[in-house]
Amino acid sequence: MQNQITLAQEAAYTGVGLHSGRDVHMVLKPAPADTGIVFIRTDLPERPQIHAVAINVTSTLRATTVEENGHKVFTIEHLMSAFHAQGIDNCYVEMDSEEPPVADGSALAFFDLMQQAGRQEQAAPRREVVIDKVYRIDDEEHKRFVMVLPYDGFRVSFTSLNPHKLIGVQYENFEITPETYHQEVAPARTIAYEKEIKALQEMGLGLGGTLDSVIVYNDEGWLNPLHFEDELVRHKILDVIGDLRLAGPIRGHVIAVASGHALNTQLAKKIAAELG
CA 263, 268, 271 angle in degrees (round to 5)?
Answer: 125
Q: What is the pTM of this model?
A: 0.96
Phi, psi (deg, nearest 5) at residue 31: -135, 150
Length of the chain (residues): 276
CA distance 258 to 161: 6
Q: Tally Cβ neighbours within 10 Å of residue 16.
A: 19
CA distance 68 to 246: 14
Taking alpha carbons only, the member of 137, 126, 59 closest to residue 98 is 59
CA distance 182 to 155: 15
Taking alpha carbons only, the member of 152, 119, 151 closest to residue 3 is 119
pLDDT value, residue 224: 93
* Residue 233 to residues 197, 199, 239, Cα–Cα distance (Å): 20, 23, 10
β-pairing verdict for 11-16 and 49-51: unpaired
Domains belonging to the chain, first-starting first, are 3-125 (3.30.230.20), 129-275 (3.30.1700.10)
* Separation of CA 39 from chain center: 14
CA distance 214 to 108: 14
Taking alpha carbons only, the member of 71, 67, 92 closest to residue 9 is 92
Phi, psi (deg, nearest 5) at residue 93: -110, 100
Annotated binding residues, written as ranges, equal: 78, 235, 239
pLDDT value, residue 247: 98
Q: Which residues of the chain have pLDDT under 50?
A: none
List, in order, residues 6 or more apart from 36 with CB less than 8 Å away: 51, 52, 53, 89, 90
Q: How many CA within 13 A on the CB side of residue 124?
A: 13
* Separation of CA 214 from chain center: 15
- Respond yes or no: is residue 51 known to be catalytic: no
Annotated binding residues for Zn(2+), written as ranges, equal: 78, 235, 239
- Residue by residue, DSSP assigns 212-269 as TT-EEE-SS-BSS--SSTTHHHHHHHHHHHHHHGGG-SEEEEEEEES--HHHHHHHHH
pLDDT value, residue 273: 97
Query: Are 101 and 210 contacting, i.e. CB atoms less than 8 angstroms apart?
Result: no
